[in-house]
Amino acid sequence: MKTTTIALLFISLLSFSQNVKLKTGDLLFQSMNCGPLCEAINEVTEGYQGKDFSHLGMVYIINDSIFVIEAAGEAVKITPYETFKTYTNEPMYIGRLKRKYRKYIPKAVAFSLQQVGVPYDDEYLYDNGKYYCSELIYDAFLHAYKKPLFDLFPMTFKSPKSNAYFEVWADYYQKLNMEIPEGQLGCNPGGISTSDKLRIIGTIE
């Protein structure tokens, strides 16, 4: 019995590590290289199997060319897949909606495309007319599903070690001349990666 279990585990791991053919609507989770800000995000959020994810985007395939719809930089944009991969030195994880939810992908993609050019939400406030990465994905599937597909949680900008605000966040919001939105509802890539509405089906090195 033990030998059989080990063999099945090995087969499962082997299957997971093989290349996965991306499909429109797949979600790509990554640990973006953005210095102390991303490090602070990683410390208070937890992704699939404890992985750190600070960014995500949605795959969009046109005529066999792979793009990623993302909210990053200055606005929502369509990024070539090869460019998206350069944001990180770590493996990216591929999330695919469970079969019962895949019929909502076309409307979610259409919604996301309509948001191209909408400013990046540097305030990280939900529903303020701008988008950060996971907020775009949340709203895209909210629009398609007609109710929340993913979850919102109270956000924290405090270190779990000291319960004090991370210095990087304190400085960040001071420059924006606004209060830190501690406790307000929001979402993050790690939280979406653990959703029971999708499966992590592989990685991209």
- Which pair of structure tokens corresponds to residue 81? 């897949």
pLDDT at 5 over 80: no
Look at 23-27, 33-37, 84-88, 197-201 and tell me which has the smallest mean pLDDT.
33-37
Domains of the chain: 21-204 (3.90.1720.10)
At 46 the pLDDT is 87
Q: 21-65: per-residue pLDDT in tens?
A: 999 999 999 998 778 888 888 888 889 999 999 999 999 999 999
pLDDT at 18: 52
Query: Confidence band (pLDDT; 50, 70, 90) for 6?
Result: very low
pTM assigned to the model: 0.89
Q: Tell me how far apart the 2 most distant CA atoms of the chain are, in Å.
A: 62
Mind listing the pLDDT tens digit for each residue in 127-176? 999 999 999 999 999 999 999 999 999 999 999 989 999 999 999 999 99
